[in-house]
Structure 1
Amino acid sequence: MNLHSEMLYGCAAVVVVVGVRVLAAIAVLGDRDTQETRDTGETSPPQALLRAWRRPLPWAAALLVAVMVAFGIAQLAAPGVIDALGRQPHGDWWRAGTALLVQSSGWFQLLFNLAALVTVAPVAERHFGPVRTLMIFALSGVTAQAVSMSGWSPTGGGDSVAICGLVGALATWYALRGTDLLLRRTAPLVPLAGLVLCLLTNNHGVGLLMGSLLGAGLALPARRPLAA
């Protein structure tokens, strides 16, 4: 394994480890105000992550998951969908958006990204609200795909860059306004990993940094986390 690969895997490990801790902390924070939690006591982080799908249903997260599943089935049934919607060298500008709909590496990428989306999206929606969650997802994803089309990675597709945007936004928000001091100090490792990935011309870094910028913008005003 060369240095480039080691740095890529190192950044991925940082994003996953720190990101999961931030997700759990924010999920617990959002779960404290529910009636069930007030009746039974504070939930554990894994329970809080699962309860992010509680009623009322986080509709934006459900929409993102439904769209991903629908296009996943479509690309498995008709692989030509990937070429029709994914990034292409010198491709049309609209592919920066449609490339988020297909997973060009096949079923493994589809399952991995779907699991990530199911975990991250409802927590983001409970925290930022549905409209801002969709905004972060779309802006982070489209920006990363556009940069990829400019030369970093002209072919392919996937929504992991948009999911990274949600993780970056949550991590940066927590770094600025979180309650756990130790986690606040480690959360900036997520945007830092995004910067390193950008230096390695990996499009996930663009998603992380765009999401981090948006998360910082949502954290700077003194506001409560937005309910779904």
Structure 2
Amino acid sequence: MPYLTAVVLAITAVPSLLQFVIPGLEPAWARDPAAIAAHGQWWRLATALLVQDGGPFGTLVNLGFLAVLGHLAERALGRPRWLVLYAAGAVAGETAGYLLNQPGAGNSIALCALAAGLAVSSAGRLERSVGAFYAIVSGAWLLADLGVWGVVAMVALAAAGAQLVAHRARVPEWLFPAVPAVAAVALTGVPDLHGPALLSGLIVGWLWELPSREPPEPVADGVAASG
């Protein structure tokens, strides 16, 4: 059972939903670089993960992806790696947001690291394809700011990304980690805080896999394997 995902989802969902009935909750908890620098309100870097700045639709999307990505990651990667990836995305994203002077709120940066970790180190194609799909979605949102044609491009890009999941059996294995890698570079260059968050997930996922990829030690001649 995805107990860790359920706990984090509940902790995130309660204030994320309460912000719509408690005026001022979201701005009081959001990442505000000016308030952090001038008044030392560093706690905002943590509370910003518990409220959402995308309105009702963005809130439901973030909570929904937390449930899906969290469940897949907990099943495929285990709880320790889940926690490390989620924390890495949160730290990288919040740090980037502060340094880039980008106010805001939401747990999408933590989800970016979970998605990238799935794309890099999961054994199953479903998990890898969903991780790659979320990497595309995390960047496609920026197109919505370009007006009607931006929204059309965003939907088209998301639809194209969904093909990774729908046709995952025929997708080359290298494409799953390549997609979040390209998204990480592109978003970092914009700059957008989701880029460093994706990059942190790629690094953690890759480093975690290193021990299992080391070649086995050669067996000396004349020594029989036991068992």
- Equivalent of 1:183 in 161, 172, 175: 172
Matched to 1:171, the amino acid is A
Matched, 1:132 2:76: no
Equivalent-residue separation in structure 2 for 1:174 and 1:118 (angstroms): 17
Q: CA deviation at 1:100?
A: 0.7
Q: CA deviation at 1:110?
A: 0.5
CA deviation map 1:85-117 (0-9, x unaligned): 111133122222211111012211101111111
Give the match for residue 96 of structure 2. 147
1:54 counterpart residue number:
none
The answer to whether residue 90 in structure 2 is matched with residue 100 in structure 1 is no
Aligned partner (choices 58, 61, 72) of residue 123 of structure 1: 72
Note closer, same or farther for the CA distance 1:126–1:136 as it changes in structure 2 (3 Å cut): same
Shift of 1:79: 3.1
The answer to whether the aligner puts 1:113 opposite 2:62 as a matched pair is yes
Q: Which residue of structure 1 aligns with residue 207 of structure 2?
A: 217
Could you tell me how far apart the structure 2 residues matched to 1:59 and 1:107 are? 25
1:202 paired residue number: 192
- The normalised TM-score by structure 1 is 0.66
Whether 2:29 is the aligned partner of 1:85: answer yes
What are the ranges of 5 or more consecutive residues in structure 1 without an aligned counterpart? 1-56, 224-228
From the superposition, tell whether residues 192 and 117 of structure 1 become closer, same or farther in structure 2 (CA, over 3 Å): same
TM-score of the superposition, structure 2-length normalised?
Answer: 0.67
SS for the counterpart of 1:183 is: coil
- SS of the aligned residue for 1:100 comes to coil
Structure 2 CA distance for aligned equivalents of residues 157 and 173 of structure 1: 28
* 2:58 partner SS: helix
1:148-206, Cα deviation, whole Å (9 max, x unpaired): 111241x110001111110011112259x98x794321012212211111001111111
Alignment of 1:5-16 (within 5 A): none
Contact preservation (8 Å) 1:68, 1:101: yes
Residue 10 (structure 2) pairs with residue 70 (structure 1):
no
The verdict on how the C-alpha distance between 1:218 and 1:173 changes in structure 2, with shifts beyond 3 A counting, is: same
Work out which structure has the larger RCO, using CA pairs closer than 8 Å and 6 or more positions apart in sequence. 1
What is aligned with 1:192? 182
Conservation of the 8 A alpha-carbon contact between 1:85 and 1:95:
yes
Structure 2 residue aligned with 1:162? 110
- The 1-side partners of 2:115 and 2:76 are apart by 12
The question of whether the paired residues in 2 share the 8 Å contact of 1:96 and 1:143 is answered with no
Q: Percent identity?
A: 32
Number of paired residues? 165
Runs of 4+ off more than 2 Å: 180-183
Shift in CA distance, 174/184, structure 1 to aligned 2, threshold 3 Å: farther
